Amino acid sequence: MSAQIIDGKKIATEIRHDLALKIKQLQKKHAISPGLAVIIIGDDPASQVYVRNKRNACEETGIKSIGYDLPVTTSQEELLSLIDKLNKDDAIDGILVQFPVPDHIDTETVIEAIHPGKDVDGFHPYNIGRLAVRLPALRSCTPYGVIKLLESTGEKFFGREALIVGASNHVGRPMALELLLAGCTVSISHRFTKDLEAWVRRSEIVVVAAGKPGLVKGEWIKPGATVIDIGINRTEDGKLTGDVNFDIARQNAAWITPVPGGVGPMTVATLMLNTIEAAMSRRNISL
Protein backbone atom coordinates (compact mmCIF):
# COMPACT_ATOMS: atom_id res chain seq x y z
CA MET A 1 0.00 0.00 0.00
CA SER A 2 1.18 3.51 -0.78
CA ALA A 3 -0.53 6.49 0.79
CA GLN A 4 -2.52 9.03 -1.17
CA ILE A 5 -0.88 12.45 -1.02
CA ILE A 6 -2.91 15.27 0.52
CA ASP A 7 -2.06 18.17 -1.77
CA GLY A 8 -2.16 21.21 0.49
CA LYS A 9 -1.08 23.52 -2.29
CA LYS A 10 -4.04 22.52 -4.46
CA ILE A 11 -6.56 22.73 -1.63
CA ALA A 12 -5.22 26.12 -0.52
CA THR A 13 -5.51 27.43 -4.08
CA GLU A 14 -9.16 26.34 -4.17
CA ILE A 15 -9.85 28.06 -0.84
CA ARG A 16 -8.20 31.28 -1.98
CA HIS A 17 -10.20 31.22 -5.22
CA ASP A 18 -13.44 30.86 -3.25
CA LEU A 19 -12.40 33.67 -0.91
CA ALA A 20 -11.69 35.98 -3.83
CA LEU A 21 -15.27 35.43 -5.04
CA LYS A 22 -16.55 36.03 -1.52
CA ILE A 23 -14.67 39.32 -1.26
CA LYS A 24 -16.17 40.45 -4.56
CA GLN A 25 -19.59 39.74 -3.05
CA LEU A 26 -18.67 41.74 0.06
CA GLN A 27 -17.56 44.66 -2.07
CA LYS A 28 -20.73 44.54 -4.17
CA LYS A 29 -23.20 44.00 -1.34
CA HIS A 30 -21.59 45.96 1.50
CA ALA A 31 -18.85 48.08 -0.15
CA ILE A 32 -16.27 46.38 2.07
CA SER A 33 -12.70 45.35 1.33
CA PRO A 34 -11.20 43.53 4.35
CA GLY A 35 -7.97 45.07 5.64
CA LEU A 36 -5.03 43.13 7.10
CA ALA A 37 -2.14 44.84 8.89
CA VAL A 38 1.05 42.79 8.63
CA ILE A 39 3.85 43.71 11.03
CA ILE A 40 7.39 42.37 10.71
CA ILE A 41 10.29 43.39 12.91
CA GLY A 42 13.82 43.01 11.61
CA ASP A 43 15.05 41.29 8.46
CA ASP A 44 15.06 37.57 9.27
CA PRO A 45 15.13 35.86 5.84
CA ALA A 46 12.58 33.15 6.71
CA SER A 47 10.17 35.69 8.16
CA GLN A 48 10.55 37.85 5.08
CA VAL A 49 9.53 34.89 2.89
CA TYR A 50 6.50 34.12 5.07
CA VAL A 51 5.38 37.74 5.03
CA ARG A 52 5.82 37.96 1.27
CA ASN A 53 3.65 34.86 0.82
CA LYS A 54 0.94 36.36 3.02
CA ARG A 55 0.98 39.67 1.16
CA ASN A 56 0.79 37.85 -2.17
CA ALA A 57 -2.20 35.90 -0.90
CA CYS A 58 -3.87 39.15 0.11
CA GLU A 59 -3.37 40.56 -3.37
CA GLU A 60 -4.73 37.38 -4.95
CA THR A 61 -7.90 37.28 -2.83
CA GLY A 62 -8.62 41.02 -2.76
CA ILE A 63 -7.73 41.70 0.86
CA LYS A 64 -6.10 45.08 1.41
CA SER A 65 -2.67 44.43 2.94
CA ILE A 66 -1.08 47.24 4.94
CA GLY A 67 2.57 46.54 5.69
CA TYR A 68 4.59 47.72 8.69
CA ASP A 69 8.25 46.78 8.25
CA LEU A 70 9.91 47.83 11.49
CA PRO A 71 13.62 47.90 12.37
CA VAL A 72 15.02 45.29 14.74
CA THR A 73 15.61 48.09 17.25
CA THR A 74 11.86 48.68 17.65
CA SER A 75 11.01 48.63 21.35
CA GLN A 76 8.18 46.65 22.89
CA GLU A 77 6.49 49.92 23.85
CA GLU A 78 6.64 51.15 20.24
CA LEU A 79 5.19 47.89 18.96
CA LEU A 80 2.38 47.91 21.53
CA SER A 81 1.60 51.51 20.63
CA LEU A 82 1.25 50.55 16.96
CA ILE A 83 -0.99 47.61 17.86
CA ASP A 84 -3.18 49.88 19.97
CA LYS A 85 -3.50 52.26 17.02
CA LEU A 86 -4.47 49.39 14.71
CA ASN A 87 -6.97 48.03 17.24
CA LYS A 88 -8.80 51.36 17.02
CA ASP A 89 -8.60 51.66 13.23
CA ASP A 90 -11.95 50.67 11.64
CA ALA A 91 -10.26 50.06 8.29
CA ILE A 92 -8.18 47.26 9.82
CA ASP A 93 -9.98 43.93 10.27
CA GLY A 94 -6.99 41.79 11.13
CA ILE A 95 -3.62 42.32 12.79
CA LEU A 96 -0.75 39.92 12.20
CA VAL A 97 2.62 40.17 13.91
CA GLN A 98 5.15 37.90 12.23
CA PHE A 99 6.88 35.71 14.80
CA PRO A 100 9.50 35.24 16.05
CA VAL A 101 10.10 38.75 17.32
CA PRO A 102 13.45 40.02 18.69
CA ASP A 103 14.40 38.77 22.15
CA HIS A 104 13.71 42.10 23.86
CA ILE A 105 10.00 41.82 22.96
CA ASP A 106 7.74 39.45 24.90
CA THR A 107 5.67 37.32 22.52
CA GLU A 108 2.74 36.68 24.86
CA THR A 109 2.43 40.37 25.75
CA VAL A 110 2.21 41.17 22.05
CA ILE A 111 -0.40 38.48 21.40
CA GLU A 112 -2.60 39.65 24.25
CA ALA A 113 -2.35 43.27 23.09
CA ILE A 114 -4.15 42.43 19.83
CA HIS A 115 -7.93 42.77 20.07
CA PRO A 116 -9.42 39.23 19.97
CA GLY A 117 -11.73 40.28 17.15
CA LYS A 118 -8.70 41.22 15.02
CA ASP A 119 -6.52 38.29 16.09
CA VAL A 120 -6.47 36.58 12.69
CA ASP A 121 -3.59 34.31 13.74
CA GLY A 122 -5.93 32.85 16.36
CA PHE A 123 -3.31 33.04 19.12
CA HIS A 124 -5.12 35.22 21.69
CA PRO A 125 -6.12 33.39 24.91
CA TYR A 126 -9.71 34.50 24.32
CA ASN A 127 -9.84 32.74 20.95
CA ILE A 128 -8.10 29.63 22.27
CA GLY A 129 -10.59 29.63 25.14
CA ARG A 130 -13.54 29.90 22.75
CA LEU A 131 -12.25 26.81 20.95
CA ALA A 132 -11.85 25.00 24.27
CA VAL A 133 -15.51 25.50 25.17
CA ARG A 134 -16.70 24.47 21.68
CA LEU A 135 -17.61 27.98 20.57
CA PRO A 136 -14.84 28.71 18.03
CA ALA A 137 -14.34 32.28 16.87
CA LEU A 138 -11.05 33.08 15.10
CA ARG A 139 -9.16 29.79 14.98
CA SER A 140 -5.40 29.21 15.02
CA CYS A 141 -4.39 29.14 11.36
CA THR A 142 -2.22 26.04 11.19
CA PRO A 143 -4.54 23.73 13.18
CA TYR A 144 -7.53 25.11 11.26
CA GLY A 145 -5.69 24.38 8.02
CA VAL A 146 -5.02 20.82 9.18
CA ILE A 147 -8.74 20.31 9.77
CA LYS A 148 -9.40 21.46 6.20
CA LEU A 149 -6.81 18.96 4.94
CA LEU A 150 -8.36 16.13 6.94
CA GLU A 151 -11.83 17.05 5.69
CA SER A 152 -10.56 16.81 2.10
CA THR A 153 -9.83 13.09 2.53
CA GLY A 154 -13.45 12.24 3.26
CA GLU A 155 -12.33 10.13 6.21
CA LYS A 156 -14.42 10.27 9.36
CA PHE A 157 -13.38 12.04 12.56
CA PHE A 158 -15.79 10.60 15.10
CA GLY A 159 -14.21 8.10 17.44
CA ARG A 160 -10.86 7.91 15.67
CA GLU A 161 -7.77 7.87 17.86
CA ALA A 162 -5.69 10.95 17.12
CA LEU A 163 -2.21 11.78 18.40
CA ILE A 164 -0.59 15.20 18.31
CA VAL A 165 3.19 15.07 18.62
CA GLY A 166 4.23 18.41 20.12
CA ALA A 167 2.41 20.56 22.67
CA SER A 168 3.23 24.15 21.66
CA ASN A 169 0.78 26.94 22.49
CA HIS A 170 0.32 27.97 18.86
CA VAL A 171 0.05 24.57 17.16
CA GLY A 172 -0.04 21.44 19.33
CA ARG A 173 -2.52 22.54 21.97
CA PRO A 174 -5.07 24.21 19.67
CA MET A 175 -4.67 21.24 17.29
CA ALA A 176 -5.78 18.96 20.09
CA LEU A 177 -8.81 21.17 20.73
CA GLU A 178 -9.69 21.17 17.02
CA LEU A 179 -9.60 17.38 16.82
CA LEU A 180 -11.56 17.08 20.05
CA LEU A 181 -14.17 19.42 18.60
CA ALA A 182 -14.28 17.22 15.48
CA GLY A 183 -15.09 14.14 17.56
CA CYS A 184 -11.73 12.37 17.82
CA THR A 185 -10.32 10.69 20.89
CA VAL A 186 -7.23 12.82 21.39
CA SER A 187 -3.80 12.31 22.95
CA ILE A 188 -0.86 14.71 23.05
CA SER A 189 2.76 13.68 23.32
CA HIS A 190 5.57 16.00 24.37
CA ARG A 191 9.17 15.94 25.54
CA PHE A 192 8.26 14.04 28.72
CA THR A 193 6.26 11.35 26.92
CA LYS A 194 7.54 7.83 27.44
CA ASP A 195 7.57 5.39 24.52
CA LEU A 196 6.49 7.69 21.69
CA GLU A 197 6.62 4.74 19.32
CA ALA A 198 3.80 2.95 21.16
CA TRP A 199 1.59 6.05 21.03
CA VAL A 200 2.18 6.49 17.30
CA ARG A 201 1.58 2.83 16.49
CA ARG A 202 -1.93 2.83 17.98
CA SER A 203 -3.08 6.14 16.46
CA GLU A 204 -5.35 6.44 13.40
CA ILE A 205 -4.56 10.13 12.87
CA VAL A 206 -1.02 11.35 13.59
CA VAL A 207 -0.30 15.10 13.51
CA VAL A 208 3.37 15.89 14.05
CA ALA A 209 4.53 19.38 15.01
CA ALA A 210 7.75 18.98 16.95
CA GLY A 211 10.32 20.67 14.71
CA LYS A 212 12.63 17.65 14.80
CA PRO A 213 13.45 16.06 11.45
CA GLY A 214 12.75 12.34 11.30
CA LEU A 215 11.38 12.21 14.85
CA VAL A 216 8.54 9.89 13.86
CA LYS A 217 9.81 6.78 12.12
CA GLY A 218 7.86 5.60 9.10
CA GLU A 219 7.58 2.03 10.36
CA TRP A 220 5.71 3.28 13.44
CA ILE A 221 2.73 4.40 11.38
CA LYS A 222 -0.34 2.21 11.77
CA PRO A 223 -1.54 0.69 8.47
CA GLY A 224 -4.34 2.86 7.09
CA ALA A 225 -3.55 5.86 9.31
CA THR A 226 -3.67 9.49 8.21
CA VAL A 227 -0.41 11.40 8.73
CA ILE A 228 -0.17 15.19 8.85
CA ASP A 229 3.39 16.50 9.03
CA ILE A 230 3.52 20.13 10.20
CA GLY A 231 7.25 20.14 10.80
CA ILE A 232 9.47 21.93 8.34
CA ASN A 233 13.22 21.66 8.71
CA ARG A 234 16.15 22.48 6.46
CA THR A 235 18.83 19.81 6.16
CA GLU A 236 22.56 20.40 5.73
CA ASP A 237 22.22 20.06 1.96
CA GLY A 238 19.53 22.77 1.90
CA LYS A 239 16.52 20.51 1.36
CA LEU A 240 13.27 20.90 3.30
CA THR A 241 12.05 17.94 5.30
CA GLY A 242 9.34 17.23 7.85
CA ASP A 243 9.24 15.57 11.24
CA VAL A 244 8.11 12.23 9.77
CA ASN A 245 10.20 9.76 7.78
CA PHE A 246 8.06 10.29 4.68
CA ASP A 247 9.29 7.58 2.31
CA ILE A 248 8.63 4.76 4.75
CA ALA A 249 5.54 6.30 6.36
CA ARG A 250 3.73 6.53 3.01
CA GLN A 251 4.04 2.74 2.65
CA ASN A 252 1.85 2.28 5.74
CA ALA A 253 -0.44 5.30 5.76
CA ALA A 254 -3.66 5.74 3.79
CA TRP A 255 -3.17 9.51 3.52
CA ILE A 256 -0.11 11.68 4.11
CA THR A 257 0.98 15.29 3.61
CA PRO A 258 4.25 16.13 1.87
CA VAL A 259 6.84 18.65 3.05
CA PRO A 260 6.84 21.15 1.49
CA GLY A 261 3.41 21.51 -0.15
CA GLY A 262 1.25 20.12 2.62
CA VAL A 263 0.33 22.18 5.66
CA GLY A 264 2.27 25.36 4.81
CA PRO A 265 -0.01 26.69 2.06
CA MET A 266 -3.05 25.94 4.22
CA THR A 267 -1.80 28.18 7.02
CA VAL A 268 -1.79 31.14 4.63
CA ALA A 269 -5.20 30.20 3.20
CA THR A 270 -6.83 30.03 6.63
CA LEU A 271 -5.24 33.37 7.54
CA MET A 272 -7.13 34.88 4.59
CA LEU A 273 -10.27 33.05 5.71
CA ASN A 274 -9.91 34.42 9.25
CA THR A 275 -9.45 37.96 7.92
CA ILE A 276 -12.71 37.78 5.99
CA GLU A 277 -14.51 36.24 8.96
CA ALA A 278 -13.18 39.03 11.19
CA ALA A 279 -14.36 41.68 8.72
CA MET A 280 -17.90 40.28 8.67
CA SER A 281 -18.07 39.56 12.38
CA ARG A 282 -16.91 43.08 13.35
CA ARG A 283 -19.67 44.58 11.20
CA ASN A 284 -22.26 41.93 12.05
CA ILE A 285 -22.89 41.18 8.38
CA SER A 286 -23.20 38.03 6.30
CA LEU A 287 -23.50 37.02 2.67
Distances (CA, A) of 118 to 87, 99, 133, 141, 225: 7, 17, 20, 13, 36
Please identify every residue annotated as catalytic: 54, 98, 121
Give the residue from 215, 208, 132, 224 showing the smallest Cα distance to 163.
Answer: 208
Query: pTM for the full model?
Result: 0.96
Q: What is the CA radius of gyration of the chain?
A: 19
pLDDT in tens, the chain (287 residues): 699 999 999 999 999 999 999 999 999 999 999 999 999 999 988 899 999 999 999 999 999 999 999 999 999 999 999 999 999 999 999 999 999 999 999 999 999 999 999 999 999 999 999 999 999 999 999 999 999 999 999 999 999 999 999 999 999 999 999 999 999 999 999 999 999 999 999 999 999 999 999 999 999 999 999 999 999 998 888 889 999 999 999 999 999 999 999 999 999 999 999 999 999 999 999 88
Question: What backbone phi and psi angles, to 5 degrees, belong to 258?
Answer: -85, 165
> Going by C-beta distance under 8 Å and a sequence separation of 6 or more, which residues neighbour residue 24?
62
Closest CA to 80 of 90, 70, 66: 70
Nearest to 207 by CA among 239, 243, 155: 243
